[in-house]
Amino acid sequence: MQHEERFIELMNNGDGMTAKREAKASIFTEVFGTPAYGLELLKALHPELSDYTEDDISTVTIRNILTNKSYNDLGILARDKFVILVEAQSTWSVNILIRILIYLAYTYKNYITAHELDVYSEKRVSLPKPEFFVIYTGKGERPEQLSFAREFFPGDTPDVEITAKIVQQGKEGDIIDQYMTFAHTLDQNIQKYGYAPEAMRATYHYCVEHNALKNYLLTKGIEEVTSLMMLLFDDETVMRNHDAQIRRESRAEGRAEGRAEGRAEGRAEGRAEGKVEGRAEGESKMSTLISRLLSLGRAKDLEKAANDPEYREKLCKELGIA
């Protein structure tokens, strides 16, 4: 148990990793990161594990230490025998295989550290068996399985291979089927109402009525679920606006410095390095600001901060973010 607790602690520290995420994927992590729903998902993916209980599983999702948000969607350690990584996708991309490879390496790194395994010894170390699933809620039929070798090195045989099972539907009424209903209903309501509270409320009522994540939704309540979704929507908007602002500022700086410095190559290289470091510091600062404002429920301040550098600095001073 001590090793397992250390493993979970390491996974929660995330090494400052960042990732682009969608609101639906964040809800997936929120729901299935709980022991009860994580167990339901495990049994839906592996019906033969019917004797497993909540005590047999641990959530080992990688978390971003800067923003306290998940880096991948879901990681489950089951009886120290399986480590199951699950990603929720609504937009199809075979690049998910690359991300899964990165997630697995990080997960094993922390597992080895937590269990104090010696990978340089002659004795073979024992690791939980890895399995990968993609819960796909987007449009169009997709293959039942993705292969890293086939997708990225067709006709060749690379030394590294991973495969991920693609799940596009569950059995009627099971937890995967319920999540699919939730995701599709949310998409339809966003198209109808936009990224507005009405979209979430309509989704909530429909899903409760049609027994899609009903217990989770009723436990949280309509106001808490709506607030959570709106914060996630605002977070996405803030990050998109922040990225766009960084690009605009970078282009403006580049044009101004290019005209001013011209042939001063040495100084240009130094300035380029400084700008890269400065942007990294700025993004870290922004991530911390987002995390603090979200925890305080200040969604309006988030959106304003994304478009107003002076207001952003004011908030950082107010919250003591250096």
The pTM (predicted TM-score) of the whole model is 0.68
Percent of the chain with pLDDT over 90: 48
Closest CA relative to residue 58, chosen from 12, 92, 26, 97: 12
Q: Which of 1-10, 173-182, 197-206, 284-293 has the lowest mean pLDDT?
A: 1-10
pLDDT at 298: 73
- Asked whether the predicted pLDDT for residue 259 surpasses 80, the reply is no
- pLDDT given for residue 316 in this prediction: 85
What residue segments make up the domains of the chain, in order of their start? 2-168, 172-230
Q: Which residue has the higher pLDDT, 249 or 206?
A: 206
Could you report the per-residue pLDDT of 270-284, keeping only the tens digit for each? 555 555 555 555 556
Amino acid at 164: A
Q: pLDDT over 70 for what percent of the chain?
A: 70
Q: 205-242 pLDDT, tens per residue?
A: 999 999 999 999 999 899 888 877 766 665 455 444 54
Q: How many C-beta atoms surround the C-beta of residue 230 within 10 A?
A: 18
The whole-number average pLDDT for the span 252-260 is 62
Sheet holding 74-78, edge to edge: 57-59, 74-78, 82-89, 129-136, 163-167, 145-147
Residue-wise pLDDT for 178-194, tens only, equals 999 999 999 899 899 88
The one-letter amino acid at 154 = P
Are residues 114 and 6 in contact, defined by beta-carbon separation less than 8 angstroms?
yes
- Separation CA 291–CA 283 (nearest Å): 12
Work out the average pLDDT over 27-47. 92
| 108: nearest Cα among 89, 127, 136 | 127
Cα(22)–Cα(248) distance, rounded to whole angstroms? 24
Q: Is the pLDDT of residue 265 over 60?
A: no
Bridge-based pairing state of the strands 57-59 and 74-78: antiparallel
Which pLDDT belongs to residue 226?
82
Task: State mean pLDDT over 143-172.
Answer: 95
Indicate the average pLDDT of the chain.
80
Name the range with the highest mean pLDDT among 161-170, 227-236, 281-290: 161-170
Question: Residues, the chain, total?
Answer: 322
